[in-house]
Structure 1
């Protein structure tokens, strides 16, 4: 049986393709995914299709080498936190960024039900302008 920590870790620690496949396998169909206010994709996306279109498709098309590298995980029952650094180059401006982030996940029955993003939006905004 995979722990909640291992389930979340598997969505960050492989190749981008592996991470994407692993994430898709563990998203609840009605996942609630909240991107932080001030982040370019701010808001709450409900459902896998809304999440893919509103966040991941845009990350893939608007950024070069966008990455989320985790340095620390914390687990507490159904909640898992991942702390790390985003990096990438925004295509429209050619500017690069590095921004600290935290993701707080709620996992139930081996599925991600909810994710809340916390991020240094100032660093991201500098790359956008």
Structure 2
């Protein structure tokens, strides 16, 4: 009998985390520098508060005429974050992402982020020949 694959087997480790006191501009700079579309937002103790996406920056900051240099991440982050533990089965990640319409799912242990699972990670793992898997494995546009 095959063992169920665990989240730890497909998650991206060492996710980009930023303090909730950082600014939207700082988050956008990190996203550009690392070619990513999200950062995990934490408090000073490293506890996950939520996920900030490039869409959050547009919808919750720019479209509301907030100043990105002075708007703090805690004021625009998607919260509370739905999370999963690394020792849970990948099927649970799929279920949570479907239920909550998520493209990214933070992986936590004791409230601290240890990884992230993206819809691309799932596509690559579940159906490596799919168009989404191909796109997810392609180098980012510059």
Give the TM-score normalised by the residue count of structure 2: 0.26
The structure where helix makes up a greater share of residues is 2
Q: Which has the larger radius of gyration?
A: 2
The structure where strand makes up a greater share of residues is 1
Give the TM-score normalised by the residue count of structure 1: 0.27
